[in-house]
Amino acid sequence: TYIGNVVISVNPYRSLPIYGPEVVQEYHSCNFFAVKPHMGCGGGGHGPSTHGPSLSEASKLVMSYVAAVCSKGEEVEKEKEQLLQSNPVLEAFGNAKTVRNDNSSRFVSAQGTGGGAGPDLLEKSRIVRHVRGERNFHIFYQLLAGGSAQLLQQLKLRQDCRHYAYLNREAADVPGMDDAANFHAMQDAMRAIGFTPAEVTALLEVAAVVLKLGNVQLNSSYQANGMEACSIAEQQELQEICSLIRLDPSVLEQALCSRTVRARNETVLTTLSVPQGYYGRDALAKNIYSRLFDWLVNRINASIQVKPGKQRKVMGVLDIYGTLLWQDNGFEQFIINYCNEKLQQIFILMTLKEEQEEYVREGIQWTPVEFFDNSIICDLIENSKGGILAMLDEECLRPGVVNEDTFLSKQNQLFAGHKHYENRETQNARRVMDPSLLPHCFRIHPYAGKVTYNVSEFIEKNNDLLFRDLSQAMWAAQHTLLRSLFPEGDPQKVSLKLPPTAGFQFKASVATLMKNLYSKNPNYIRCIKPNESKAPMLFTPELVLAQVRYLGLMENVRVRRAGYAFRQLYSSFLERYKMLSPRTWPRWAGTDREGTEALLADLGYPPEELAFGHTKVFIRSPRTLFDLEKRRQDRVVQLVILIQKMFRGWRCRTQYQLMRKSQILISAWFRGHRQKNKYQQTKRSALILQAYVRGWKVRAGHPGQAQQELQVWEGGWGWGWWLHVLRGNVAPSQPPSQGTLLTSHGVAAPQVQKFLVGLRNNLPPLSVLDRTWPPAPYKFLAEANQKLRDIFCRWKCKQYRDQLSPQRRALLQAKLCASELFKDKKSLYDKSLQQPFQGEYLGLTQNPKYQKLQAVVKDKLVMADSVRKVNRASGKTVPRLLLLTTEHLVLADPKAAQPKTVLSLSDIRSVSVTRFSDGFLVLHLKETSTGGAKGDFLLVSDHLIELITRLHQTLLDATSQGLSLHITDQ
């Protein structure tokens, strides 16, 4: 929905069909209130939000919408593709799973077109520490899950996440998230953006170094002077890291275990304790990753920035993590919430204040509405002289014993009277008791409600000090990318100036971001999370109400309700609604304001609903606006019907004129054609009559010559007689008479010739399954037509057989033999029609254990299959291997692969099977058989039809006598 030009979006936690190409086209260049609320109408500026789940997806949808509706062209398409492909890369290196969102952006992403991105405020503390149930940045899990074995070996990594301390040594699979697929998508995106293979490899090497730094463990020891020192516990991790960055391991080991303190004219090397060593290690990991992320953003900006010399227009989409209200909030939550306070300040200044200032500029009477201005909260935090961040920096730089207690004590003294700050001491002074506020905590009352912060580790995290020795060690590495991230490590650029604190850097980045936003025209997408369980179709009113209050939407609604819900320039308003009044439709000759006033006067709205400013018309109630839209839609329907009516009339008249001209032309051509055909027919008839008359005259003058010509024709070719044979008028043995030959020659010959030529031109397809044949055009040709059909079918079958391979021919012959043996005799036959005859089912060539069975018989193998032999005494079955060769049938033990029975095919007297769908068969042996001492064999086969068919064909080839097969019910 909308609050003015602010879009309110609720995360549905499922895919909806409202972002396809058709919907994008519908919302492209549409009027704000002409369509339903959608991010396609409200997106395009920056969208601060309370919760990331909706926001991260909303920012991607807005970027996709912008890419879809912008101009076309080869260069533009390339830039759009690079812009969209930057999402997977930034998500991999800047997003992580939190307790509230599986894909939460842990940085301020200010993506845009026309000049790249703004400052990116990365939550780098997550690199070394995150709570259980959350994950580190996605890139580490994607690299381990999607990297090939060769890549992981090159990066000295293992695939198991539980091997790495920075990943909390736990498996962290996220349901619905495929890390391996996302890693490949990220690689493809890098190639689309323009990363070279060397840059991608260097990037992954630095990420691997950060991951492996967490596994560097330290041992504690004491020097002779009693000072605690630390040393590397396991050298393998250190050596692998140094091999990746091409650095001498001793240099990195010294930088991790000691520190060089430089005064103006003195340099002292001091050892580090184990906690100090771990602090330096973690600080190095955070700085490497943070600087790598900055390099990545700058590299993407270099690919998508506007080329020099072109006009530059900037449109950005600001994606930032929302306000964090956890049970235990530390330094990270404090600075993130500070950033949200600044964004809320912009929202107040540029939305609520601007709303009221617009009425003043337009000369509209207006009663100001009171709303909460959070400038006092921002000043409490960022004031350069007496703010919380300034006091924190002062404590970090102060010599002597510095801890959070002294910081909190000074803070309590300074803000004792501040109404938006409280602590246990200030509560005691005000005689207020709140057990939930612990002594080492302080509480701020921002626009989003009360937030309590624990000051533990505030000073340590604010210092965020990277020892100079570590910077110099990174500069000494031969890894080009890593070396470029630490320019201060250059020994020629040694500076004794203390580095800025984390709070100071964050404050400066936020100030730069705010300056950028103040120079733009923002639009807002406020994202609401409907429930904590991330489930679709579940709405938690209490959670949603808290977010509405935190986002300051109530003040926005109050300002809107107290003023005018809709305003628009006179020119745009008149252009959209001018068809509602006869005075303004179709064209207004006066000024836009006069036309708007005349239009609204004709519509009869109450005066209190309208206000006319210097350049805009204001409408108080949404009902009036909706009524205007309804009237416009109805009027548009009327105009469309009128246009359709006029168009249909024009089209019918035009079609009538064209049809009339066409009819006259067709009639003229048809009359000419008919007269021409009539003339040709008359001419042919006259010629025939003339020919008969001339022939009659000649024959009447020479009666003996006709008899001689008839005898000559009879001796030449008398195929007309055969036509009479086909008719059945004469027998083949009866000689043709002269009258028959004359009739055949004069009448039937053209018909036969036409029939044969037509048959040649319309032969059926050559498929053997196609039995179609053209019917005989005349009854006397029916018998000849049938004989020609039979000849053609036999010829097609021969052509099909000739093109068959020997294997295919043998298979079809086996199938034909099976049909002759079992069709309509055994129920199992119908089930075997679709099963091809393979012959070899044991894999003898692949199984060396079975190969020695072939050595038992020297002849050619026909079929090999596993069967079950039925014991005549107990009825139990035992498995056997059956080998059928051209001369023998072998039954073997499958375990020992030793033959049990070897039968000659000549010893088989017959075979009996049932007519049912079972696989039983009985081998009846001759009494003289060497293997028949125990009687006949009762076997069960899963390929009964094929076995008996193969046996029958083999006996037929060997003895010229087929198998004696008995099919019985018993």
Q: Is residue 251 part of a domain?
A: no
Q: Tell me, what CATH number does 643's domain have?
A: 3.30.70.1590
Summarised one tens digit per residue, pLDDT across range 97-140 is 887 778 887 776 554 444 444 445 688 888 988 888 889 999 99
User: Can you give the pLDDT at residue 117?
Assistant: 44
More confident residue, 670 or 523: 670
The torsion angles phi and psi of 616, rounded to 5 degrees, stand at: -130, 155
Overall average pLDDT of the 300-312 stretch: 70
User: Can you give the pLDDT at residue 907?
Assistant: 84
What residues form DSSP beta bridges with 861?
885
Summarised one tens digit per residue, pLDDT across range 54-65 is 556 666 677 676
Q: Is residue 935 part of a domain?
A: yes
779 & 855 share domain? no
735 & 779 share domain? yes
Q: Tell me, what CATH number does 189's domain have?
A: 3.40.850.10
Question: Given a cut of 50, is residue 925 above it in pLDDT?
Answer: yes
User: Can you give the pLDDT at residue 705?
Assistant: 61
61 & 139 share domain? yes
Q: Is residue 808 part of a domain?
A: no
11 & 148 share domain? yes
Overall average pLDDT of the 312-335 stretch: 71
Q: Is the link from the previous residue into 586 a cis peptide, with omega within 30 of 0?
A: yes
Question: Given a cut of 60, is residue 826 above it in pLDDT?
Answer: yes
Query: Which range, of 235-249, 281-295, 504-518, 590-604, averages the lowest pLDDT?
Result: 504-518
Question: Given a cut of 60, is residue 304 above it in pLDDT?
Answer: yes
79 & 157 share domain? yes
DSSP state letters, 362-423 = HT----------THHHHHHHH-TTTSHHHHHHHHHH-SS---HHHHHHHHHHHTTT-TTEEE
User: Can you give the pLDDT at residue 121?
Assistant: 67
More confident residue, 706 or 556: 556
Summarised one tens digit per residue, pLDDT across range 536-557 is 888 888 888 888 877 777 777 7
User: Can you give the pLDDT at residue 834?
Assistant: 79
| Reported pTM | 0.59
More confident residue, 292 or 308: 292
User: Can you give the pLDDT at residue 217?
Assistant: 93
User: Can you give the pLDDT at residue 711?
Assistant: 47
Helix, strand, coil shares of the chain, percent, nearest 5, are: 55, 15, 35
Summarised one tens digit per residue, pLDDT across range 451-461 is 888 888 888 88
Summarised one tens digit per residue, pLDDT across range 337-351 is 888 888 888 877 777
User: Can you give the pLDDT at residue 902?
Assistant: 85
Summarised one tens digit per residue, pLDDT across range 459-517 is 888 877 788 888 999 999 999 999 999 988 888 776 666 778 888 888 888 888 888 88
d(CA 808, CA 812): 6
User: Can you give the pLDDT at residue 716?
Assistant: 38
Overall number of domains in the chain: 4
120 & 96 share domain? yes
Judge contact between 884 and 863, C-beta under 8 A.
Answer: yes
714 & 732 share domain? yes
Question: Of the candidates 872, 896, 894, which has an alpha carbon nearest to the alpha carbon of residue 882?
Answer: 894
872 & 961 share domain? yes
Last residue of a domain, one of 787, 803, 819: 803
More confident residue, 746 or 836: 836
112 & 17 share domain? yes
Judge contact between 182 and 146, C-beta under 8 A.
Answer: yes
Query: Which range, of 2-16, 382-396, 710-724, averages the lowest pLDDT?
Result: 710-724
Residue 657 pLDDT class (50, 70, 90 cuts):
very high
Last residue of a domain, one of 599, 624, 649: 649
Question: Given a cut of 90, is residue 371 above it in pLDDT?
Answer: no
Q: Is residue 510 part of a domain?
A: no
Overall average pLDDT of the 844-852 stretch: 76
Last residue of a domain, one of 608, 625, 649: 649
Question: Given a cut of 60, is residue 180 above it in pLDDT?
Answer: yes
User: Can you give the pLDDT at residue 433?
Assistant: 72
Summarised one tens digit per residue, pLDDT across range 407-428 is 888 888 888 888 888 888 777 6
764 & 732 share domain? yes
User: Can you give the pLDDT at residue 410?
Assistant: 86
619 & 757 share domain? no
Summarised one tens digit per residue, pLDDT across range 763-791 is 888 888 888 898 888 888 888 888 888 88
Could you tell me the residue range of the domain that residue 583 belongs to? 566-649
298 & 190 share domain? yes
d(CA 23, CA 38): 10
Q: Is residue 947 part of a domain?
A: yes
Q: Is residue 607 part of a domain?
A: yes
- Which residue matches tokens 């369980």? 533
Query: Which range, of 22-31, 494-503, 668-677, averages the lowest pLDDT?
Result: 22-31
Helix/strand/coil (H, E, C) string of 819-869?
HHHHCCCCCHHHHCCCCCCCCECCCCCCCHHHHHHHCCCCCCEEEEEEEEE
d(CA 327, CA 455): 14
Q: Is residue 371 part of a domain?
A: no
Q: Is residue 150 part of a domain?
A: yes
User: Where is mean pLDDT largest: 111-115, 238-242, 730-734, 927-931?
Assistant: 238-242
